[in-house]
Structure 1
Amino acid sequence: MSDKMSDDALAALKIAFTYMPKSMDVNRFDHGEDFQRILADIEQVREILLLNDVDPDEVEGELRPDSAPNSCY
């Protein structure tokens, strides 16, 4: 089975990923005992994006170039 997604499914995953919390914002204080599960979910989505030749760190800038922070490099 291939891990490559259809273009529509990949576009939907990119959109959903932009609404997920960033890993550095997930902690026990804010998310309780679910914080480790949330981190695992975020990592799973990142892995699927990478398998589909998408840089997770660039998704928001790709979808919303006007609202994404500018790169400093």
Structure 2
Amino acid sequence: MSDNDTLTALKTAFTFMPQPVDVTRFEYGDDAGRILEQINFVREVLLDHGIDPDEVAGEINPDTSPNSCY
């Protein structure tokens, strides 16, 4: 498996992760803090590889993503 395949797998998995604003104690209980740390870890790895985490969903699933306004 190449590094590109690994990054594509990470980006795909990231699209299934909840958005940080959606991770609350009400929804996730005592796991909320751990889940936020994991989401932030993946975001940091993507950023370290020059990938904007906020654009990943549009790249992986372009047909289901809203058009950018800029």
**TM-score w.r.t. structure 2 length?**
0.92
1:47 corresponds to: 44
Secondary structure in structure 2 of the residue aligned to 1:71: coil
Q: Percent of counterpart pairs with the same letter?
A: 57
Alignment partner, residue 66 of structure 1: 63
Measure, in 1, the Cα distance between the counterparts of 2:66 and 2:23.
Answer: 20
Q: Deviations over 1:42-69 (max 9, x none)?
A: 0000000001110000000011111012
Q: Aligned partners of 2:53 and 2:41: how far apart in 1?
A: 11
Q: Distance in 2 between matches of 1:70 and 1:29?
A: 31
Aligned residue pairs total 69
Q: What is the correspondence of 1:1-73 to structure 2 with a 5 Å cutoff? A: 6-73=3-70
Q: Which structure 1 residue ranges, 4+ long, deviate > 4 Å from structure 2? A: none
Q: RMSD of the alignment, in Å?
A: 1.3
Q: For residue 34 of structure 1, what is the amino acid of its counterpart?
A: D
